[in-house]
Structure 1
Amino acid sequence: MSPLDLQVNGYAGTDFNRDGLTAEALHHACECLVEDGCDSILATFITDSIDAMSERMSRLVELREQDSLAQKVIAGIHIEGPFTNPEKGYVGAHPPQHVKPATLEDAKRLLDAAGGLTKIVTLAPEFDQKFHTTEFLANNGVTVSAGHCNPSLEVLRASTEHGLSMFTHVGNGCPMTMHRHDNIIQRALSLRDKLWLCFIPDGVHIEFFALVNYLRTAGLEKTIFVTDAISASRLGPGKYTLAGWDIVIGEDLVARSPDGSHFVGSTVTIPRILTNGQQHLGLSKAELQLLLDTNPRKAVGLT
């Protein structure tokens, strides 16, 4: 098995979303990922100002070009925001002051900064006027994913006709309390034939019994597991940061905001996903290979 993790914000003390990333820190993260059985990742950059996101991505691209291990491990970039829904609950850990509607101009700036490495852009379809940005990205070989969003079923379905092909961490990036039937989770599941559905299988972002239900509904052929890992992954309890957020990791290894109101990324690792998959989700090794290796590569064209 050669897992490709489509959503990694940082690892083992290294935060991709901080200013001034160093060559040593990047190399260390890549070494630790390989040690933990992760073959490759998409380095993930979350919402900030366009300038800050661009500078951080350009820095990583520059450092990657100088490091053969980083070139192997970092298969591309996942841009998660800033074109998301600013409403509380849907915005999640993304700073709402930097969330904005999608525009072609901003999308082009971000793609340029990523130096041709962009594989996924997560956005809110309801904030992409006439789906122009979705269509532009898809036509340029980028997998467009819905996330931190609340489009109607009609808007979500229409977006798939303009290039949307994935949904980022289904069951998260949404409020704790929603309509019991007409909610973004049910809408995403209803379009399982059109969308790759990504889940964080740590037992916290989605309780295992609920994730089992989702997997039964979605089917494994279009399902992907991601870690959504942050810099605290692998390090244990303590205080950390993600793109300026102060994060508290408790004894349960859950990444929360200081007030405990919401999760801030995840600390789950590939070894823990393999254990969770077999012990709590009843998945075979072959099925886990599908969710961690085969499907992610298909979804972003890295087969």
Structure 2
Amino acid sequence: MSTSSWPGLVDLQVNGFRGYDVNADDITTDTLVALTQELWREGVTSYLPTVITASEDKILHALEVIAAARRSDALIAHSIAGIHVEGPYLSPEDGPRGAHDAAHLRDPSIVELDRWQAAAEGLVRIVTLAPERMGALSYIAEAADRGVLASIGHCAPTAETVRTAVTAGATLSTHLGNGTQSLLPRHPNHLWAQLAADDLTAMFIADGHHLPADALTAMIRAKGTDRAILTSDSAALAGATPGTYRTPVGGHVVVEGSGRLSLPGTALLAGSGHSLRACAEWALQHLPFGTDELIRMASHNPRRLLAHRQDSEPDGDRIDVHLGDELIIQRVRVAGAVVHQR
């Protein structure tokens, strides 16, 4: 087993982890502080808390709490690099909408985005939306003008709509290969269009459940490791014992022994049961990419995408890892301060 120093992992999609839920009705600043500390133990030094489809009041409350958590502590502020809002501008179709609540899906509104930013103190960095929704293309362009990245996800567009969204300014794909129909035309379809678009960087969930190894390998090779990002899409149930739980994300969710999270009686996934560290470990074990390429996809690329803070020195966010059959985090530094020691 070898020991090496890596840049800290950067996760662009974190709904929760080990019982701490970004989308809980009773979210507090303590929730965000505890969540951040749990992620430090997993080697994640920067992340985007991810707020999903809900009423506007609930979304605004979550945004306000996240902003308040950043104000409470300098290291927490350093690690919460912004906010990802996944929805509510998603496809209403079963399959593409995934576990998102159909009752709160709606068309994009740039006025609503401005209200989000007022509540979040300008922290919203990514919005996932379905480009086929009414008003989505103008929303993408106006969001880009405000410095907000539009990401294509939970959608059922035509290939042409994908190309038009990229022209309008879309720059990302959210968990590409998931959040879509179970059956697609062989070609054309929107997955091929997103893979072919050089102006789209694709986020992938490498947990062994969202995509099989051969599909993920082919998709990463299509995008190239410079335009691929590994994310966890972790949920609050990540780390829970097997069973059926009631959660704000998806209602009843089944946790399997493998960590797979799904809606009862369906093949639909309800987020991931793994941290980005665990996803990186699975990728090293199952994908034909080396450590340098893995670090690029789990750290360098998402950091570059966020145009990470100028006050964040490259050596300030570091993790020491033991790398053998498992990826074991030994020590974590955030902004130069040791926040975890195994």
TM-score above 0.5: yes
Instruction: Please point out which of 230, 235, 241 is paired with 1:225.
Output: 230
2:332 corresponding residue in structure 1: none
Q: Which amino acid aligns with 1:110?
A: W
Does the aligned pair in 1 maintain the 2:238–2:274 contact within 8 Å? yes
Find the counterpart in structure 2 of residue 123 from structure 1: 129
Cα pair distance change 1:71/1:238, threshold 3 Å: farther
- The sequence identity of aligned pairs, in percent, is 33
Relative CO higher for 1 or 2, CA cutoff 8 Å, sep ≥ 6?
2
* C-alpha contact 1:120 1:300 (8 A) present in aligned 2: no
Give 1:237's aligned amino acid.
Answer: P
Of 138, 147, 150, the residue aligned with 1:144 is 150
**Deviation of 1:2 (Å):** 1.2
Tell me which residue corresponds to 2:34.
28
More moved, 125-134 vs 278-287: 125-134
1:155-178 alpha-carbon deviations (Å, 9 max, x no partner): 211111221111100000012122
Partner Cα distance (1:265, 1:130) in 2: 24
Cα distance change of structure 1 residues 85 and 29 upon mapping to structure 2, 3 Å threshold: same
Name stretches of at least 5 consecutive residues in structure 1 with no aligned partner.
none
Counterparts of residues 141-290 of structure 1 (less than 5 Å) = 141-191=147-197, 193-240=198-245, 241-243=247-249, 245-290=251-296
Contiguous gaps of at least 5 residues in structure 2: 1-6, 310-342
Give the counterpart letter for 1:291 in structure 2. M
**Could you tell which deviates more after superposition, 250-259 or 63-72?**
63-72
Q: Residues 89-143 of structure 1: CA distance to partner in whole angstroms, max 9, x if unpaired? A: 1111111111111122222222222221111011111114272211111011111
CA contact (8 A) 2:250 2:270 kept: no
The equivalent of 1:77 in structure 2 is 83
Tell whether the 8 Å contact from 2:16 to 2:236 is kept in structure 1 after alignment: yes
CA distance in 1 between counterparts of 2:168 and 2:258 reads 41
Change (3 A) 1:283 1:130: closer
Per the alignment, in what secondary structure is the counterpart of residue 187 of structure 2? coil
Tell me the TM-score normalized by structure 1.
0.94
Shift of 1:67: 2.9
2:70 to 41, 64, 69: 64
Higher deviation after alignment, 222-231 or 234-243: 234-243
User: Structure 2 vs 1, CA of residues 244 and 158 (structure 1 numbering), >3 Å: closer, same or farther?
Assistant: closer
Q: What is the alpha-carbon distance in structure 1 between the residues aligned to residue 132 and residue 147 of structure 2?
A: 21
| Larger Rg belongs to | 2
Partner of 2:81, secondary structure, is strand
Shifted more, 140-149 versus 242-251: the winner is 242-251
Structure having the larger proportion of residues in strand: 2
Between the aligned partners of 1:293 and 1:271, the Cα distance in structure 2 is 11
Distance in 1 of aligned mates of 2:147 and 2:184: 34
Pair 1:43–1:154, CA change in 2 (3 A): same
Name the CA distance, whole Å, in 1 between partners of 2:243 and 2:45.
Answer: 27
Deviation, structure 1 residue 19: 1.5
C-alpha displacement at 1:26, in angstroms?
2.1
2:55 to 49, 60, 85: 49
Deviations 1:66-97 (A, max 9, x none): 13342122111001111111111111111111
Give the Å deviation of 1:261.
3.5
The number of residue pairs the alignment matches comes to: 302
Structure 1 residues 24 and 51: alpha-carbon distance in aligned structure 2, compared to 1, 3 A threshold = closer
Given the two structures, how large is their TM-score scaled by the length of structure 2? 0.84
Q: What is the Cα deviation at residue 30 of structure 1?
A: 1.1
Question: Aligned-pair distance for 1:144?
Answer: 1.0
Task: After TM superposition, give the deviation of residue 244 of structure 1 in Å.
Answer: 6.1
In the alignment, residue 253 of structure 2 is paired with which amino acid? I
3-state DSSP of counterpart to 1:4? strand
Give the match's secondary structure for 1:125.
coil
Say whether the 8 Å CA contact 2:162–2:190 is kept in structure 1. Answer: no
The answer to whether the Cα contact below 8 Å between 1:278 and 1:284 also exists between their aligned partners in 2 is yes
User: 1:178-209, CA deviations, whole angstroms, 9 ceiling, x for partnerless residues?
Assistant: 21222222121121x11001110111100111
What SS does structure 1 have at the residue aligned with 2:165? helix
Name the Cα RMSD after superposition. Answer: 1.6
The residue number in structure 1 matching 2:93 is 87
Kindly indicate whether the alpha-carbon contact (under 8 Å) linking 1:91 and 1:148 is maintained by their aligned counterparts in 2: yes
The 8 Å contact of residues 101 and 250 in structure 2, kept in 1 or not, is answered as no
